[in-house]
Amino acid sequence: MAKDEPRKGGRRDFLANLALGIAGLLSVGGFASRLFGFLYPVVPPEQLVEVPVATRNQIPPNGGMVVNLPTGHVAIVDAGGELRAFSAVCTHLGCIIKWQPAARSVWFCPCHKGTYDLDGHVVSGPPPRPLKRYEVAIREGKVYVKIPYRPPVLPA
């Protein structure tokens, strides 16, 4: 070995390799952590929230309407004075239904012509299930509906 040549396996090499090893472990650990978070995301539980959808006099007697809210789409109907609320999302492929009374049905899905009755039951077409029903409350002239809501997941 020449006099000016750096020694192989010395303390400097050891520390450089140690630093490289630690950096490698940290980056693999960070990657593994992100991969795990991607594969098994933390999903917050769904909760019921009560939201105002309309004033009572906006819903005509024996009439219905769809209200589009940031938290979801609500179909609300006055059935002989009783207010009923449903998810306005069609149970077939998720289109938004419309109020369109016909002989046997009142809710119409424009995507594949599915229809539902006043109780949200399927009358015709491809929808496999009835509309999801929501609880309704009226206070001080306002109509409130309890809808399921899942808070958004914020990135870590």
Strand 64-69 and strand 114-116: the pairing is unpaired
Of 117, 126, 132, 146, the one binding ligand FES (CB under 6 A) is 126
Interface characters, 19-58, with ligand FES (x: CB under 6 A): ----------------------------------------
Site for ligand FES contains 92 (CB under 6 A): yes
CA distance 94 to 91: 6
Main-chain dihedrals φ then ψ at residue 93, nearest 5 degrees: -125, 15
Nearer to ligand FES, 116 or 144 (CB): 116
Pick the stretch among 40-48, 55-63, 92-100, 139-147 that binds ligand FES (CB under 6 A).
92-100
Q: Which residues of 71-103 are buried (b: 16+ CB within 10 A; e: fewer)?
A: ebbbbbbbeeeebbbbbbbbbbeeeebebeeee
125 contacts ligand FES (rule: CB under 6 A) = yes
Token pair for residue 94? 């998720």
The Cα–Cα gap between 78 and 56 comes to 10
Q: Candidates 43-51, 54-62, 71-79, 86-94: pick the segment binding ligand FES (CB under 6 A).
A: 86-94
Binding site for ligand FES (CB under 6 A): 90, 92-93, 95, 109, 111-112, 114, 125-127
